[in-house]
Amino acid sequence: MPPPPLLCLALSLLALLPPSSAQSTLALNEPPDNTLLLGAWLDTSTDSPQSFNARLGLPAPWFQFAQNIPVDPLDQSTGQGGIVNASMVWETGTDAGVYVTVYPAQGFAAIRDQDWAALGVQLQSYVLAGRGVFLRFAPEMNGNWDVWGIQPTAFKAAWARMHALVKLSCPSCALVWSPNASPGYPYSITPDMVASAEDRQALDTDGDGAYTAADDAFAPYYPGDALVDWAGVSYYYKGVYPNSYNVANGPGTVEAALTGTAPAGLEQAQAVQYTPFYETYCERMPCMFSESGAAWHWNQTGVPANFDSPTHTAVEQAWWRDGLTNRTLLSAYPRLKLLMLFEWQKVEADAGISTLRDFRITNATDVLQAFRADMQAVQGTYRWANELPGGAAGVPAQVPMPQPSPARATPYRMPAGESTSLFWN
């Protein structure tokens, strides 16, 4: 049977479009007009999206939360477990989107098809409420600090199943593949740490029998273009290993996450080349810093003699001026479309040395004032959320929302013992 005339006409018109028209099609949740997005992952036990916007003086377009899969049972007395409290985003009175990170905290084998189906329904309820949605599954899977790490075969199988089932219910959910940034790879991982012989071989991408900076930090875990909407990386600066005292980063530190080229200085005399991220993935899809920040050590230890410690503002400002407000960098990498702030403080340990690391830039008054001043120069480069008419909620009354934990919107940062750093692991 020949195709209908209208279909023939549509196909003919499509064929007449120049190649650039097809290439200019935006991906799910991708901002137009060479703009980019700023998001925040908040510790909602003490903070909220509404409070963040008030501090920043601008309406952030994305807020990140986390939950486990299978979903942990909800403890009514403590508020632990359950699904995220996305209604906190509605309370901003804007059209900001919901970014959900999902941890396979019990391992990949524990995830059932009904878990994926339930997640898809949950996320689609946010779409029906007029929200954009990101889903980031099993982040930093190329590290060994999480129970789901260094298992590329199981990870890719779980990802394919997720794509098949979640997209059935939520086709407009943007799936974010998000490894840890390559500088520092293989993060002290050795073949004997990898349980599966198939995985051991897969991770040795240059076939020399060892894991080194020459091995591809990403390729063994990549599910394929057809199954990924955005690519992202986790990227932090924590100072000089063992990351226990305050040091401001130097120029090029943020760019290293994109190029894989760790600059010389601090602990290394020469630049080290790791797997490039931007040129490998971002040329064909939008990319993001899925979580990022610079650590301020409140209880710093091991400070060298005669070391001139920088101020809190100096540490954080060095970070954002190298990335968030760096016009040169933002122009050089136009497919970098979202920068997610990790607005948390947490106790972390490296080499047995624990410090309270504060990654927030909107908490301390002097740091916040400096950030707001520097943001003014690039404010127009970012695309902000729109205010909603008709009240703060802006949610159609007929849309039923999944019930979250009553007291804790982000159950916790998994796992508490994570100890990744920028170049030194």
Q: How far apart are CA 284 and CA 110, in angstroms?
A: 33
CA angle 13–17–22, rounded 5-degree value: 120
Nearest to 271 by CA among 263, 280, 259: 263
Choosing from 140, 316, 343, 348, the catalytic residue is: 140
Choosing from 30, 255, 291, 316, the catalytic residue is: 291
Q: How far apart are CA 202 and CA 155, in angstroms?
A: 13
Q: How far apart are CA 281 and CA 172, in angstroms?
A: 21
Residue at token pair 């909620």: 393
Q: Residue 262 contacts by C-beta under 8 Å, 6 or more apart in sequence?
A: 183, 184, 256, 268, 271, 272, 273, 274, 422, 423
Q: How far apart are CA 402 and CA 123, in angstroms?
A: 9
Q: How far apart are CA 235 and CA 261, in angstroms?
A: 14
Q: Is 343 a catalytic residue?
A: no
Helix (H, G, I), strand (E, B) or coil at 290: strand
Q: Is 91 a catalytic residue?
A: no
For residue 57, give the amino acid letter: G
Angle between helices 113-128 and 152-169 (to 10 degrees): 50
For residue 42, give the amino acid letter: L
Residue 191 and residue 152 in contact, taking contact as beta carbons nearer than 8 Å: no
Strands (E), 25-96: 37-42, 62-68
Residue 101 and residue 141 in contact, taking contact as beta carbons nearer than 8 Å: no
Q: Residue 375 contacts by C-beta under 8 Å, 6 or more apart in sequence?
A: 58, 324, 325
Residue at token pair 């949605």: 133
Residues that are catalytic: 140, 291
